[in-house]
Structure formats: structure tokens, C-alpha cells
Structure 1
């Protein structure tokens, strides 16, 4: 393993570990003008006095959010390359954090997949190995089509919500009210997406959800120690706007009532719930199958004029001209 390796291709882009910074001769030979540090360690600032320097303070752990910095790191790398100099990206070992940032840049620059970028980088530095969490973030970045501002992506926003829910669950708490993501409020009016069925309250026929908001889950293997049934007793779904008065109370678990007839139709548990099929679902927001009817939509009615079909009380995004869509 060398202290500094050039990324394959015609770019003056290099990757290394923290000890690379003490090899002044090697940095000079590579015409390094920009240094991107991706680590959370005390470093001697004098080491960077000859370079334009950007520090991204992150740990090499799977739940670290490195994705939020990709726009910044890509821009910094591009600035250095456009200026005619060389760019060094380093972390502690030149293996995970720095590799993740280089891969994100290669994806953005060449329009390639995370795996293709990883294989390209390994041609010159075989040891690179982003941790599993960083690889998942790179896959998400690819699905976003490497947007300039990742924080505007619904995919990113949903991922951040899931992280918040998991953190709250680990602490035995409900997520903060302002952190709960009500999925029906994040669907664009022009999106031609809809479920093929509606879930209606058995008593009053009020539409409670469409199948696009259902959360799939897999039963455990047949040798699981948990008792199972062939069918799930509950529908698991995303938070929806009609649930807001209950979910924003800050309770870890509770019951859900139909907003029209007040019949108990389901329950929720932020820490998770075991389905009758044996799967553990987190968070668990459910409608009991015995309390709702699943009504299949006619295809022509569901997709008329390319519009999103919504049952009453399933909100569209809030605009200045409309309220929050709550009944």
C-alpha cells in the first residue's frame, strides 16, 4: 500500500491516509493544491498551510451521515481540478471515508454506479472498502440521480425520517411531533402514482389509506421460534395526515380511531410490533384487517387524466392556497 494513490483516469485526483500529509515531497510531485480531510481527529493545522483545505468531520461508522456532504465535497474537488492543480482526499487510512467521497465524485462526474466507481478506484488502491452504511448512502445517491441538493430529495427526506424514528425507538421514545413524516403530504399533485386498492373503515366506509402507503414486510424463515399464521392480521402503513392528532401526542404506542365514526381501526407502536406472520416491523402503524375492507379500484377511475387518486382526507402537499388537509 502506498501513502498516496492516483485515482485511475485523466483526473489529478488522489487518495490517501493521514500520514500522506507529512510526505511533502510526494504532495509537491503530484502538484497538490487542494486537500479534503474526511475524519474526526485533531490534526496539525500547519500541515495544511500550503493548500486550500476543507475538513468534513465524520466518524467511520455505519450510521454516520456522509451523504449530506456530497454536494460540498464534489464542488471542492471540482474547484481544485478546474484550477489546474491536484486534489488529495484523505481520511485516517484512505480506506472508507475518503473512498466514499471519491466514489461520490466519480459517480457524479461520469454517471456511473457506486459499484463501477468502487471497482475503478480499486484499480489503484485495492484496500478501499466503504463501510456498509456508506455504501447504502452511495446507492441512495445514485437513485437520486446525484442531485445537486440532496436535502431536497424525497428519498433523502424519508431516509432522515427513518433515522429519526430509529433513534427515538432506541431511546424508548416517540419521535418529536415536528419530525413525523406524513407521507400523503409529500405526494406531488402531478405524480401519476396511486395504490390499486383503498382501505375503508368497515363501519362508515371512510377511506383510510390506499395501498401505495402500505409498508411491505417479509415473514421470518419457517424455523423461526415465533408462532406464525399464513396471513397478516394487520396492514402496516406510513403515517398519514388523519393520524396527526394521535401521533403528535408523543405517546410511544396507542390506538388509531377512524376520524369519521371514531371506531377503533388500528394501533401503533413506535418501538415496533410483531406481525402475526412473525415479522418484526419498526415503526408499526397498523390498520386491523378485521376493521377495514380492501376495495379494488377500477383502473380507468384510478388513473383518469393521469391524476393521482386520493380518498377523502388523504392530503395533498400543503400550499399557500390550501390548509393542511386534515378533517
Structure 2
């Protein structure tokens, strides 16, 4: 007598209802007329590299260009995607957020939306989403972005230094400085930026940058207060800054004042850690734009 064993495979569904009128799914769910009709989807948000080709006249389509890699920035899109989903809900529409597999990119966007909506932590929210769609798994880069979003209380806070450092590390290469500045300008448009002290060219006093643009290791002020301005063990006297529009294009290793053309500093795009005895600058990584001491001054 031969016994037979039946194996039941619980295959993932193309989409799952995660929250009121909010679905999370894969590419099949976004391109199947039957699935979209069955679930009364009226708005589709794609988080993939290329826009989907199969579209229907009864659907509103939105697209965030994104790869499923740790270096991909989704964080600066969280406010845009939140608005897409929230606007659909205000209209009474069911909204589908999808990527290719419905595992990483789309789950990141849905988790961010729900963190903002309910004011709950990343860990609590991702656990809730996973109860509705068990296979979700944002990649490590996206998980870090969601945790930073939580640190900023579910907003994009351009005044938060750690967020500004994220923008530089995640978005900026020598080929993409303009893209970095564009995304930085966007997140700055969302809040009242506390720009702080202005710095200008020592020769012509042209305004170069603000305190908010200064990049350092955030040595506690009370440590610096114990030392003199010129103590190189605490501060070398130079400043490292975020790229400014007037610096573009960066064609060589020099940075010149746009008004008087005085060389005020240099930049290094070798992506090696900066070696400096100064605690504020030692270990800075990425594209480094250094404004030399004695070539800048505070603007009164």
C-alpha cells in the first residue's frame, strides 16, 4: 500500500490590504486588469526603475524611479509618496503601492506612510505591515532610512545635521552633484531652514555659504570652548562645506569665489577618509570641499 503526501504551497498573493484603502503588491498586481478591478484600485504608485507599460484609463499612475539597492535614496521621496497616498485616500480611492516583488521598495514606502499616519516607531510599524504581508523585507539601506525618518519624527527635517550628512553620503558623487543639490533644495523647501551665521569671501565679502552648510564631526561645543580658536588639536581653522550652486561645475581641484575669482579652497573627490589632527574634520568621508582659513570671514 502506497501512502501519498500532499504538500500545500502557500504562494504569496500578488497584493495584500495593509491599511484602510492601502494595498501593497508586486508588478503583477499593478498590471492585471482583473486584480485591479477586483480590489477597486483607482491609484497606482510604482516604486521601480522603469514605468509600467500596461496601463488602464480608470487608474491614476505615479512613479518613483528606484532600484532595490542599499545605495538607493527613498527617504527624500517619503513626503511625495505620502502625499500621493493621502490624496488618493481623501478622494475615497483605493491605492496600490508596488515594486517588482512587493518585498523591499514598496514595503519601505508603505511603512514610511504608516509611521507618519500613526506616529509609531519603525519597528512597531514594520511588524504591523508584516502581519498583513509576511514576505516584506526592506533592504538594509532602506531600513536605515526608515530609522532616520523616525529620528526626525516622521518628517524630512533639513535642519537635522545627521539628515544633511545622509544626503551627502547617499546622493553625492562628482557626476551627481546637481542631483544632490536638487534633492537638498526640495527638502529645504519643506521647512523653515535655520541657516545660522553667514560666511563670505575675505577679499570681496561675497556671501559664500551659511552655518547650516558647514560639515564637521559635531565636536561638542564645550570641548571647543576649552581651547583657543587656533588650537589645531581641536580645530584646524579650515571649514568643510556642502556643495553650493555657485561652485558648479567643479572642473579642477580649486574652488574660486564667483565674484572676485580668488581661490578660497579646494575639493577632493577621491572618496578617502580625510586625515586631520583636528577633531572636527578627522575621518570625514566622501567629496570634501575645504574652504581655507584666512580666505573666509563672518558676514555681519
**Normalised TM-score (structure 1):** 0.57
Structure 2 unmatched runs, 5+ = 1-11, 182-198, 200-208, 243-249, 255-269
State which of 185, 193, 209 in structure 1 corresponds to 2:211. Answer: 185
In 2: Cα distance, 1:146 partner to 1:108 partner: 5
Is 1:156 the counterpart of 2:179 in the alignment?
Answer: no
Q: What SS does structure 1 have at the residue aligned with 2:113?
A: helix
Q: Where do 1:167-246 residues align within 5 Å?
A: 167=173, 185-186=211-212, 194-198=220-224, 205-207=228-230, 239=240
8 A contact 2:51–2:63 mirrored in 1: no
Contact 2:48–2:64 (CA<8 Å) still a contact in 1?
yes
Structure 1 residue aligned with 2:47: 38
3-state DSSP of counterpart to 1:21: helix
Pick aligned residue for 1:2 from 1, 13, 25: 13
CA drift at 1:27: 2.0
1:114 to partner: Cα distance:
1.4
**For 1:60, what is the secondary structure of its paired residue?**
coil
Q: In 2, are the aligned partners of 1:196 and 1:210 still within 8 Å (CA)?
A: no
Mapped partners of 1:196, 1:68: distance in 2: 33
Q: Is the partner of 2:96 in helix, strand or coil? A: strand
Q: For the structure 1 residues 239 and 108, does the alpha-carbon distance in structure 2 shift closer, same or farther, using more than 3 Å as the test?
A: same
Which portions of structure 1, spanning 4 or more consecutive aligned residues, are displaced by more than 6 angstroms? Answer: none
**Displacement of 1:97:** 0.6
What runs of 5+ residues in structure 1 fail to find an aligned partner? 215-234, 242-247, 253-268, 286-312, 314-322
Matches of 2:159 and 2:60, distance apart in 1: 29
In 1, are the aligned partners of 2:157 and 2:163 still within 8 Å (CA)?
yes
Where 1:54 maps in the other structure, the secondary structure is: strand
From 106, 130, 134, the equivalent of 2:138 is 130
Alignment of 1:259-270 (within 5 A): none
Q: What is the alpha-carbon root mean square deviation over aligned residues? A: 4.4
Q: 1:43 to 1:121 in 2, by over 3 A?
A: same
Give, in whole Å, the separation in 2 of the partners of 1:28 and 1:197: 63
Partner of 2:285 in structure 1? 283
